[in-house]
Structure 1
Amino acid sequence: MSVEETVRGMWKALSDRDWELVKAYLSDDCIYLDMPVGPTAAARGPDDIVKRLKIGLEPLTDYQNFPGLMLDNGIDVMYEHSEEWRWPTGESAALNFVSVHRVVGGKITLWKDYWDMGALANHAPPNWLDDFANADMSWMFDATGLV
C-alpha cells in the first residue's frame, strides 16, 4: 500500500467514524496533535488518539471529510482537505485543513493538523468547549521536542 493509500484509507475511516479501522492505520507510537493547541496536548498511540478524536467528533450528528490535494515524498504526506461538522443543535462549521503525516511500514507514525480554531469556535454551539472541559483527558501526551 502506498503512503497516499494509507493516508486516504485512514481519512475515509475517520469520515465514517470507524474508530477500530482508524486505529489499524496508526503505529503503536503514533503521535497526533492539533497544531493550534500545540505539542503539550498531543495524543500518542492508537487508543489515546481515538479517545482524543472522539471528544470533538462523536457528539456530531454529521461529520464529513472532503478530499483535496495530496503530496508526498515517499514517507511524508501533506494533505489539503476540508471537513464539515454538524451538531444536534443545528450549528455547522466548514473547516479547512492541512494535515501532515509520516508513514513508515504502512502505518502513520506522525499526524499533525493545521487549521483555524477560530473558524470552529465561531460556528460551534455555545457549550462546545464544555465537551472538552468534561472529557476524559487521560490521552494527553507532551510531545514537546518530538515533533
Structure 2
Amino acid sequence: MPAPETGPAAVVRSLWAALARREWDAVADHIADDGLYIDVPVGPTAAARGPVDVVKRLRIGLEPLADYRNHEGLLVADGEVVMYEHAETWTFATGEVVELPFVSVHRVREGRITLWKDYWDFGTVVNAAPPGWLEGLAAADMSWMFDATGLV
C-alpha cells in the first residue's frame, strides 16, 4: 500500500475537498494567517487576506448556490507552488447551471496556503447567471476586501 501523500500537493487537495463540501471552517484551516486569495478576473485590489476574510470572499459566490461541484483535474507541484487545472459546476437556486474551467495557483508554506490565485473567465458565469446575480454580488458584505497590489 502506498504511503499517504504529504506536502504542498496534499494540502491543496485537502483544501479543494473541503471547499467542494463547502465546509468553511475546514477551508479556513488551510489558509495562513496572512494568506492571500486573489480572484484574477477581478484583480488584486479586491483580494482577501487571512482565513476569515478568504472564507467571507468565497462564501459570497458559493454559499447561495443550490449545488456546487468541483471536478478534479491536473495538479502539478513544484516545491511550494501547486497549480491545479479543474472545473466547477455552479447550479443557481433558480436552476441555471454553468461549468467554469479554472486554473488555480497556490503557494504552500509550513502546511498552509499563503497565496491562492484563481484564473477563470468572468464572462462565462455572467452569461449563465440568473438576472440580478451581479446586483446581489454588489450588495454583499465587502469587509474582506484587501488591496494586494504590489504583493503579487
Normalised TM-score (structure 1): 0.98
1:95 matches 2:118: no
Match of 1:23 among 8, 28, 42: 28
Give the distance between the partners of 2:115 and 2:97, measured in 1 at CA.
Answer: 28
Give the distance between the partners of 2:138 and 2:68, measured in 1 at CA.
Answer: 21
Q: Which residue of 2 aligns with 1:10?
A: 15
Give the distance between the partners of 2:135 and 2:23, measured in 1 at CA.
Answer: 24
1:74-130 CA distances to partner (integer Å, 9 max, x unpaired)? Answer: 100110000000011010110000000000000000000000001110101111112
1:40 matches 2:45: yes
1:15 shift after superposition: 0.6
Structure 1 or 2, whichever has the larger Rg, is: 2
Q: How many residues align?
A: 147
1:39-83 CA distances to partner (integer Å, 9 max, x unpaired)? Answer: 000000000010011110010000000110011111001100000
1:110 matches 2:115: yes
1:132 shift after superposition: 1.3
Match of 1:131 among 126, 131, 136: 136
Moved over 2 A (4+): none
What SS does structure 1 have at the residue aligned with 2:45?
helix
Give the distance between the partners of 2:89 and 2:105, measured in 1 at CA.
Answer: 19
Kindly, what percent of the aligned residue pairs are identical? 61
Give the distance between the partners of 1:73 and 1:54, measured in 2 at CA.
Answer: 29
Tell me the amino acid that sits aligned with residue 55 of structure 2.
V
Please, which runs of 5 or more residues in structure 2 have no aligned partner?
Answer: 1-5
Q: Which residue of 1 aligns with 2:3?
A: none
Give the distance between the partners of 2:136 and 2:61, measured in 1 at CA.
Answer: 8
Give the distance between the partners of 2:106 and 2:45, measured in 1 at CA.
Answer: 18
Normalised TM-score (structure 2): 0.95
1:2 shift after superposition: 1.4
